Structure 1
Amino acid sequence: MLAILMIIVGYLAGSIPSGVWYSKYIHNIDVRTLGSGNSGGTNIGRNFGPIAAIVVIIVDILKGYLPVLMAQQLLGSDSDLAIMLTAIAAVLGHAYPLFSQFRGGKIVATSVGVLLAFNFYIALAMVALFITILLLTSIVSIAAMTSFLLVAIWIILREPLVYSWGFAFMAVLMVYRHRENIQRLLKGEESRVTFGLNPRKK
């Protein structure tokens, strides 16, 4: 029963639409009507500035980190499946939030939060990969997908099966959530940041 409760808590925590609430209460507009239509930190940053992006990203990371940490503390190390399902529930909540018409983000920050709870060093490696790839490409979507896919492959090759399938699922979901970005990438129309080796012209 406690395991089921933690899975529900994970989904509800993930469902907190930080980007939508921030944009509505601070700027009186739904960020999903602006830019890419996404509620995550990247679109928040493009429309409301870097400080707003940092605030939303931190909250989104905590949405993945805190439920998994709580599940680890309450369920113990013998409940790997329930803990992994709590992590997946948090990520699904971010992608399909109950509190925001099931229109959520692309799960990058929340997935980093999940990684932080499972293994700080792997999460740090993903962030380092993300920054490196972003500097090389100047494209956030490529950096996000590639860095998480590489980390997921590492986990699949080295960690127990329950973590392998869990992070494999999250990797597939992340790619799916970026499907419009992938279409723009194939057309050469994906947005670029204003720094790195191939920046957008200001």
Structure 2
Amino acid sequence: MSEPQTQLPTDVWIPASWQEYLQVLTQLQTDKAKSYYYKGHIRLEMPPVSFDHGHDHVVIIFAVSLFATLKGILATGLDTTTFRKTKVQDCQPDVAYYLREYAQTIPTNTGIVNLDRYPAPDLVIEIAKTSLLDDLGTKRSLYEELGVTEYWVVDVQNVQIIAYTMADQGSKRIQESQVLPGLVIAIVEAALRRSRETSQSEVGTWLFSQFQQKDS
């Protein structure tokens, strides 16, 4: 990338040095673009504006937080937060969670989460309306290398969650969360489908009953 000051295309990976990437971020300070850096490439994504993306984003956060609350699992959720390994990787997943002993790992007033100093999140979630193939491909590799424990991709158009457990820089599909034991992915998918036809508060009531049944 020879001219970082020019307008960059979005939703594609562009070759760039780390310094060029930082220059781009400086120019985007007043914008809301999500940014990623991986293997010498930049990817910029403009903020989602679709109803469906924002809608599923809220439902997913509610479902995970409710489950953790009912099961007594310490959890701290983060919305579109920057995680960085200096000169190596940078990412802004839609949702991330630190769980149990790591729930209070990141101190208040932290800006960018420095992964040279702090652990990677236990759970990362990308909401995919137009970025599905990249979320399943390059970003999955990025999160594997960062040391994320579990990764979900929410396929907005097909109302599906593709979930992976990650270890040793590899990943494997799962049907039940490993970081939130007892949370069946199909139940969260069912909540997303219900939310297409009823209010989110009614979906919350349904999820509450489903999670309570798991204890009975």
Q: TM-score if structure 2 supplies the norm length? A: 0.27
- The structure richer in strand per residue is 2
Q: TM-score if structure 1 supplies the norm length? A: 0.28
- Structure label with greater radius of gyration: 2
The structure whose RCO (Cα within 8 Å, separation 6+) is larger is 1
